[in-house]
Structure 1
Amino acid sequence: MTTLFISDLHLDAERPQVTELFGRFLREEARGADALYILGDLFEAWVGDDDPSETGAFVARELKAVAGAGVPVRFIRGNRDFLLGDAYARRAGMAILPDPAVVLLYGEPTLVMHGDTLCTDDVAYQQFRAQVRNPAWQQQFLSQPLAARLAFAQQARAASKAHQAGLQDKGTMETITDVSAPTVAATLAQFGIGRVIHGHTHRPAIHELDIDGKPHQRIVLGDWYDQGSVLRVSKDDARLSSL
């Protein structure tokens, strides 16, 4: 049997073909898995569980069917859907995990996370993250009308693109937006675990690491902009591939 990991789907109404691909993946493969883990950025933006979008409704129905088939569905909030709450999780039949979380995969403890907290060289982003993850900020934001929240999400997306464009101009995009090796090592040491699975950076790969003379593994999930990226973990191996 296999446990499935995905992240960074960035689903929205502007890319219906990716939402359709996700639906097929859930119906054709996920319903037969041991478990499904979604490690953040399921949606391009999420401004509250009262969002009436058809994309959100479709995803909730399809995930609920996976859970109804007896497959545990686990979710970690990302930097685009950090406001996804318990109400939507119940609609989708999934459980929200803390970020990071330790899970047992066929006897091996594994750290799972979205991955943005590993990118500590991007100081501007980490400052923004600290602001929007503050419970007081979230409470104030969610109290605003839906239209105002949607407008803020558009502004935030534009600011993110401008920030990345600035890094590109400086030639620091590849390094600043990737994980910090010391932060990865410190995080694994903090939990005493030899394997981490995360998304966020959109750089799919399986990295074999030597940290303090001991073998470690960092598995990075890919995004779903052009194709679906899936990690399949079994008792014997871990395989990263595209749909």
Structure 2
Amino acid sequence: MTTWIISDLHLSAQRPAVTQAFLHWLQAEVTQAEALYILGDFVEVWVGDDVLEDAEHGAEFRPVVDALSRLSASGVKLYFMHGNRDFLIGAQFAQACGLQLLADPTMIQCGAKRILLSHGDALCTDDLAYQQFRSQVRSTQWQQAFLAQSLAARIAFAGQARSQSTQNKAMQPVAIMDVNPAAVLQLMREHDYPEVLLHGHTHRPDVHTLTVDGHACQRWVLGDWHDTAVVCRLNDKAMELVTLPLLA
């Protein structure tokens, strides 16, 4: 059976066409699949699972949560890995959708092929400021303090952080925001040279061939959901990147 792997949808109320494209794709393609893996940045911003209980801010996510819940109930296995936009997704969201949270990275097996899954942001080690920020916000202490604030305060903070991030990116050389080759090699060594490392985050879909300490490996990169979406489809016999047209 087919397994799908996606990332970087950046779902938000400001981009309703992407949400509709995702819901349409679930119904058209994924209902007959064995599994769906979401490798982070599923939503543009997530400030805590209690968003689902808020009448105003939770409404935009309800169709997606309901669709994933139905998919899970039908027997499709759903998995989610945190990205840099949605690292606060927790047990409440996972239960509502019927999905399992995964550590980053996670190894899966497809036939004889071992595939190491990651969001990819931890590999962008040249961006020192981001890595410092990532270390801070992934800490239990920071997350507990942040989630203790009111929902309004968290939403305001997220808006300011997003604006600052946009400004910082505009000033950064493009290469700094891509993965660091040495970090990729080190990750593959640590996990005993998987045949494939598959990640998102960089929005640069491609297949890269590598030789790591004499081992033939590949790095597959998923695309974001913007004008098109580049996702991975795999089964016991084949693995491929597939381009999905998004609904207008």
Q: Same fold (TM over 0.5)?
A: yes
Matches within 5 A, 1:55-74: 55-74=60-79
1:96 matched residue in structure 2: 101
1:135 matched residue in structure 2: 140
Distance in 1 between the 2:168 and 2:238 partners? 38
2:224 matched residue in structure 1: 223
Distance in 2 between the 1:197 and 1:222 partners? 11
Distance in 1 between the 2:16 and 2:148 partners? 29
Distance in 2 between the 1:108 and 1:128 partners? 34
Q: Deviations over 1:177-228 (max 9, x none)?
A: 0001110000000010231111000000111112222210111000002222
Distance in 1 between the 2:109 and 2:239 partners? 14
Is 1:190 aligned to 2:190, yes or no?
yes
Distance in 1 between the 2:117 and 2:197 partners? 6
Distance in 2 between the 1:152 and 1:237 partners? 44
Q: Deviations over 1:106-136 (max 9, x none)?
A: 2322111100011101101000000100100
Distance in 1 between the 2:210 and 2:158 partners? 37
Is 1:48 aligned to 2:48, yes or no?
yes
Provide runs of 4+ in structure 1 moved above 4 Å: none
1:154 matched residue in structure 2: 159
Identical amino acids, percent of aligned pairs: 47
**Structure 1: gaps spanning 5 or more residues:** none
Give the TM-score taking structure 2 as reference length.
Answer: 0.93
1:208 matched residue in structure 2: 209
1:232 matched residue in structure 2: 233
In the TM superposition, residue 234 of structure 1 has moved relative to its aligned partner by: 1.8
Contact 2:46–2:88 (CA under 8 A) maintained in structure 1: yes
Is 1:119 aligned to 2:157, yes or no?
no
Is 1:25 aligned to 2:25, yes or no?
yes
Partner amino acid for 1:60? V
Distance in 1 between the 2:76 and 2:65 partners? 15
Q: Number of aligned pairs?
A: 238
Contact 1:188–1:194 (CA under 8 A) maintained in structure 2: no
After TM superposition, the structure 1 stretch with the greater mean CA deviation from structure 2, 68-77 or 211-220, is 211-220
Give the TM-score taking structure 1 as reference length.
Answer: 0.95
Contact 1:21–1:228 (CA under 8 A) maintained in structure 2: no
